Each structure stands twice: as structure tokens, then as C-alpha cells.
């Protein structure tokens, strides 16, 4: 799929699984074209009706607390680089939430097996359905 070019493997994997589950979504680029609004941080999946955004994040680059190596084994360069990413992620998501979006993060480690992928898909679909049903979540 041309739209998938430039995406990382976990992003592609998750987008494909959502597609297979029968849910349609926009990429950030597609949403920007449709709405004329550019979303901060370029979320991977955009569900405009329930106002749900999904970020599929690599554990290393985004400083996953579960997978992160203990800082002493990392050079200062990487520690600094990753903490910059973590702070930026936090700012971006806080701003999106203020605009009424529900922001869901799917970690790379949550896509480690097909069973894990299914569980992550269900988690996202539950949130989407709850929002569509007008529940606050």
C-alpha cells in the first residue's frame, strides 16, 4: 500500500490489524487533506468520528518504561535524546487532549505476537466504541 510507505514495521502491523478488524481510519496526512487541519505529532491512526488518535510508538525511541534499558548502560547522548522525545510526546498529547481527542498509545512491545496484537486492537476498538456510544472515557 502506497500510504504505508515510510511507516515502521509496528505501525504497519497495527494498521493492518485494525483494517482487518473492519475499522477504517485516516493517516495524519489523509486527515489533513480532508479537514485542512494538521494534527500535532502526526498520529499513526486517526478516527475522526469518535475523536480517537492512536500512536504506535517504538519502545527505544519513545522511552518505554517497561523495555528501557537501565540508564547506566546507555550513553548520555541517548539518554538525552530519548528524554527529549518523551517530553515532546507528553506536550503533544496534552495539547491533543485539550482539543478533545482521546489519545491512545500502543507500544511496540504490545505487538510482539499475534495474540498481543489482537489484545491491542481490542483495547483500541473498546475505546472507539465507547466514544461512539457517548460514554466518557
| Cβ atoms < 10 Å from Cβ of 38 | 11
Nearest-angstrom CA–CA distance, 95 and 91: 6
Rounded to 5°, the CA angle 80-57-115 comes to: 140
Q: Which of 17, 32, 40, 59 binds Zn ion (CB under 5 A)?
A: 59
Distances (CA, A) of 41 to 20, 67, 72, 74, 93: 25, 22, 29, 26, 8
109 binds Zn ion (CB under 5 A): yes
Scanning 42-50, 91-99, 104-112, 124-132 for contacts with Zn ion by CB under 5 A, the matching segment is: 104-112
Nearer to Zn ion, 59 or 79 (CB): 59
Q: Which of 31, 82, 107, 121 binds Zn ion (CB under 5 A)?
A: 107
Q: Which of 64, 82, 104, 106 binds Zn ion (CB under 5 A)?
A: 64
116 binds Zn ion (CB under 5 A): no
Backbone angles phi, psi at 107, to 5 degrees: -80, 150
Backbone angles phi, psi at 26, to 5 degrees: -110, 155
Nearer to Zn ion, 11 or 26 (CB): 11
Q: Which of 67, 94, 116, 119 binds Zn ion (CB under 5 A)?
A: 67
Residues that bind Zn ion (CB under 5 A): 59, 64, 66-67, 107, 109
Amino acid at each position: 500500500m502506497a500510504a504505508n510507505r515510510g511507516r515502521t514495521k509496528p505501525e504497519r502491523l497495527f494498521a493492518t490489524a485494525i483494517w482487518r478488524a473492519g475499522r477504517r481510519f485516516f493517516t495524519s496526512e489523509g486527515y489533513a487533506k480532508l479537514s485542512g487541519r494538521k494534527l500535532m505529532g502526526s498520529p499513526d491512526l486517526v478516527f475522526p468520528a469518535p475523536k480517537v488518535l492512536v500512536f504506535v510508538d517504538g519502545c527505544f525511541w519513545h522511552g518505554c518504561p517497561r523495555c528501557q534499558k537501565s540508564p547506566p548502560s546507555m550513553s548520555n547522548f541517548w539518554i538525552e535524546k530519548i528524554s527529549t522525545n518523551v517530553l515532546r510526546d507528553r506536550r503533544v498529547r496534552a495539547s491533543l487532549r485539550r482539543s478533545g481527542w482521546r489519545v491512545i498509545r500502543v507500544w511496540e512491545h504490545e505487538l510482539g505476537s499475534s495474540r498481543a496484537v489482537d489484545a491491542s486492537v481490542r483495547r483500541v476498538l473498546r475505546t472507539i466504541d465507547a466514544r461512539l456510544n457517548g460514554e466518557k472515557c
